[in-house]
Structure 1
Amino acid sequence: MFNEEDRSNNTVSNSNQKSSRFVSPRRIVAMTALLSVVFLVQPVAAQGVVCSASKLPQLIEGFFQLTTGLGLIGFVVVWQGDSLFEVFATNHEQKAKIKEHKRAALKALITLLVLGPLYTVAGSLMGLPLAECVDLAPW
């Protein structure tokens, strides 16, 4: 009924499409910024609600300090693990991949440590309600 030529014309093959399991760092930063705008920036009418709540500002500050601390510990673990793997790497390709991974971890740490203070300073300059009563500097 069908010959080999018909089957080969009906098959779909897409070898140009890459399947990646990891999300690009730019997409992560964009999503983080978008979620920050959605969840952290509140309307002017809600300014009194956030700052007048008895424990909400301290709860937000504590959560930010906890997540920043965990991120810092994670960075140290990744950095030390990569350094250990670098000792046992046999070829230059493996060493290059490990160095690239260390660079990505360092960029993530810098982003983590800069976003909180940046939001605190820029938010207070722009008059954002959450920045008035919450200090997101991790130190």
Structure 2
Amino acid sequence: MTSATWGWSDRLSLSYTPMDETHKEFVELCAALSENNPATFIERLDQLIVHSVAHFEQENQWMAEGNFPPAGCHKQEHDSVLEIMREVRRRVEAGETDLGERLAEELPLWFEHHVDTMDNMLARFMANNAVSNSPAEVVAG
């Protein structure tokens, strides 16, 4: 999916500002993977990996601070996606460019599902418990 066919929308909004802001950046970086320029794919994937490490660590920290009940499952999914991104990077660098194209197609689908399920539960939990945020940062949903 390219940035012309997939991008930020209200459908991805969780009405929890700190999470939505991070998710907007993830969507932009994820959509950029589909740019038809193999020469810069590794650079774009590296940017997404760096963002994802910080993004997932922030969510993991929120879950730990708030004693979020399904934190283990959520963290495991983060770890798995990062492992896949890193493996695809390694293999694309070795010449398996078709895997990069496949990642660019599948990652938006994974993210939409992850937002609908795991991040939706976390955002509601965070908003209800005001974990690590002042009330001014929480948008009514």
Q: Classify the TM-score, shorter chain.
A: 0.3 to 0.5
Larger Rg: 1
TM-score normalized with structure 2 length: 0.35
TM-score by length of 1: 0.35
